[in-house]
Chain A
Amino acid sequence: MFQIKGKILYNKKVKGSYFHLALEAPDIAKESLPGQFLNIKVSNTYEPLLRRPLSIHSVRGRNIEVLYEVVGKGTKVLSEKGPGEVLDVIGPLGNGFTFNSWAHGLAGSRTILIGGGMGVAPLVFLADKIAGLRARGTKFKAQVLIGAKTKGNIICEKEFKDLGCSVKSATDDGSYGFKGRITDLLKNILRSASYDLPITIYACGPRLMLKEISAISRKYGIPAQISLEEHMACGIGACLGCVVNTKQGLRRVCKDGPVFNADEINWK
C-alpha cells in the first residue's frame, strides 16, 4: 500500500459519461492485482470531502489506469482534471480476485467474467492476467458477459476481444445483444454448457446482479468470486464503515474484500 502523487497522463471521455484515466504510479503499478482498487483524492477543497474508491482497470508498465463513470460530485470533479495535473492516490487496496491457485493447479480451466454496467472495469485487468497465463501455454478459456441498460452503456467489448476473450452482451431494452438480464444470459449458457472444463465465475456489478449470481453459483455448483461495492470513508479498514454481512460475521468491503466468494455473503 502506498500513498503517492501520480501525474495524470490522460483523462479522456470514452463515450457518454465514461472516462478513462491513466496515471504515472510505478509503486502501485508493480503491486496491483485484479480486483484491487485505488482511493483517489479528487479535490483539495472540502467538497467532496472523502476520497473516491475506484477499481484498477489496467496496469501498463509504470502506469495505472482507471475507467469510471461520472455519477456524482466526486467523479464530476475528477473528470475535469487534465494531463500533467497530479492526484493524491492510495493503493493498491483490498483483496482482489484469486486466479493463481487454479492456474497452477489445473491443466485447463474455463472462466466466465460477468460485468454489469461499470462492473466491467476491474474485469479487463483480470482478463489481461488470464491472457498472460494463456500465452504461457495454459489452456484457459475466458468468456465475458457484459450487461447494461442499453447499447450506450456497453463498454470494454473491444478490450476483452483484444485480450482473446469471447464476448456476449445483454441489454435490458434489447438494443444490443441478448434482450434481458445478464444473469438470464448466464443461465442460458450454463444450461447448454458441456462441462468439459471446470468453470469459475468472476463478477462485478450491481448488488442485485451479484445476489442473483450467488444463487446461480449455488444451484449449478460453480464457484463464483464477486466484487462488492459499499460506501467507504477510509478505504484502509480503520473506520468500519463499509461492512457487509457474511457467514463469518460483518466484514469490511475495503480490507477483507472487495472480492468475496459468493457463498460467504448473507444476502438480505
Chain B
Amino acid sequence: MQTKLSVSIGKLKLKNPVMVASGTFGYAEEFKDFIDLSGLGAIVTKTVTLRPRRGNPPPRTCETPAGMLNSIGLENPGLESFIHDKLPVLKKIGIPIIMSVASEGDLEEFIELVKRLDKINEIAALELNLSCPNIKRTGLISQDPEATYSLVKAVRKKTKKTLITKLTPNVTDITKIAKQAQAAGSDAVSLINTLTGMSIDVNKRTPKVACIIGGLSGPAIRPVAVRMVWEIYREIKIPIIGMGGIMDTASALEFFIAGASAISVGTANFINPKVSLEIISGLKQYLSRNKIRDINQLIGSIRT
C-alpha cells in the first residue's frame, strides 16, 4: 500500500516527519559515515549563539536509569564559524536544515542573530531554544509565558522563516507557554527539552556532572513528554514536534498518536546512529499494516 509520510510545519514541507534533535546530532558531519543523511525529514542543528561559547566544564555527562544527564552548556563555534565551516556541509545534504538558535544575553542579541539568519536561504527554519537548562541565568524564557510571548513576537517581526519555539518541561503548566508561543506568531512548538536532574557519586559524595544539575534525557523521560504533547495538542492549533526518549518506531508512534505532527530523535542517536532511518521505515510498515494512507490521519488519533 502506498503511504504518505509528508507533513507540513509552517511553510516547511517535510518528506517525512522524522528529524534529529538539536544537540544530539552535532552539525551532521559526525554521522555521515553511518547513515544516508538525505533520508531524514530534517536536521536540527546543535544550538548556535551569536558569539562562540566554550560551554561548561567536564564532566558533562553521566548515565542514569534508562537515561542520561548532560550539562554541555551550549558549547558552539558561534554564528560566523557556523556559516563558514558547518553550513556548507549541511546544505549539501539536500534536506531542510532547521537551525537551533539561542541568546546568551538579552533580547537584542536574539534579534541580531535572527536578522542575520533571515538572509541565509539554506536555512529552512529556526528553532528558538528558549529552554536550555544549562546556561546560568535566573530562569528560562520558556518558563515564563509573558517572556515567551515577547521574545517570539519580537523575533517574528524580523523573519518570515518558519519559527519553531522549543519548550521546557520544567514548568507547572506547559500549555500556558505553548499558547503564548502560538499567540506571538510561532509556526510550531517543539517539546520537550530535557528535564532538570541530578545524580550523585555516593563514594565521593560529589555530583556526577560538574555543574551539579544537568538535563535528563532518554527513555526515562518519554511518558512525561508524551503527556505534554497530548496536553498541548488539545489547546493549540499550530503543529507540534514531539521528542523525549524516542528509541524506536513504537515510541515514535506514541507521539504522533498523542498529537505530534513530526518527531525528533535525540539521545537514541548516541546509541544507534541509524535509528532515525529505521524509524522512518518502521512508520511506513505501521501505516500500511493498519491501512492508514497518510500519517496526518494518525496525528492526535488517540482513543480515550
Contacts and interface: CB of A to CB of B under 8 A. Distances in A.
Interface of A: 1-3, 41, 46-51, 88, 90, 230-245, 249-250, 255
Given A49-B271, A234-B269, A250-B55, A241 B33 contact: no
B54 A249 contact: yes
A250 B24 contact: no
Contact of B270 (A1, A2, A50, A244): A50
B72 A50 contact: no
B271 A41 contact: yes
Contacts of B59: 230-231
Interface stretch (B62-70, B167-175, B286-294): B62-70
B270 A238 contact: yes
Contacts of B75: 240, 243, 250
Given A236-B31, A238-B26, A51 B54 contact: no
A61 B198 CA distance: 45
B61 A231 contact: yes
B68 A233 contact: yes
Contacts of B220: 46
Chain A binding surface, main DSSP class:
loop
Interface of B: 23-26, 30-31, 33-34, 46, 54-55, 57-63, 65-68, 70, 72, 75, 218-220, 247, 267, 269-274
A236 B29 CA distance: 10
Contact of A238 (B30, B272, B274): B30
A239 B54 contact: no
Given A3-B274, A41-B271, A240-B75, 11 more contacts: A47-B66, A90-B273, A230-B58, A231-B61, A234-B30, A236-B273, A238-B25, A238-B31, A239-B24, A242-B60, A250-B55
Nearest to A239: B270
Contacts of A242: 58, 60-61
Contacts, number: 99
Nearest to B34: A3
Between A51, A88, A240, A245, the greatest number of chain B beta carbons within 10 A of the residue's beta carbon is seen for A240
A188 B30 CA distance: 44
Contacts of B54: 249-250
A236 B270 CA distance: 8
A237 B61 CA distance: 14
Contacts of B30: 234, 236-238, 255
Between B59, B68, B271, the greatest number of chain A beta carbons within 10 A of the residue's beta carbon is seen for B271
A90 to B, nearest CB: 7
A29 B30 CA distance: 21
Given A3-B274, A49-B219, A250-B55, A240 B62 contact: no
Contact of A231 (B62, B218, B219, B273): B62
Contacts of A47: 65-66
Given A49-B67, A49-B219, A50-B63, A240 B25 contact: no
Between B33, B46, B54, B58, the greatest number of chain A beta carbons within 10 A of the residue's beta carbon is seen for B58
A213 to B, nearest CB: 20
A249 B58 CA distance: 13
B63 A48 contact: yes
6 contacts: A49-B63, A50-B68, A235-B270, A240-B60, A241-B70, A243-B58
B271 A51 contact: yes
Contacts of A46: 66-67, 218-220, 247
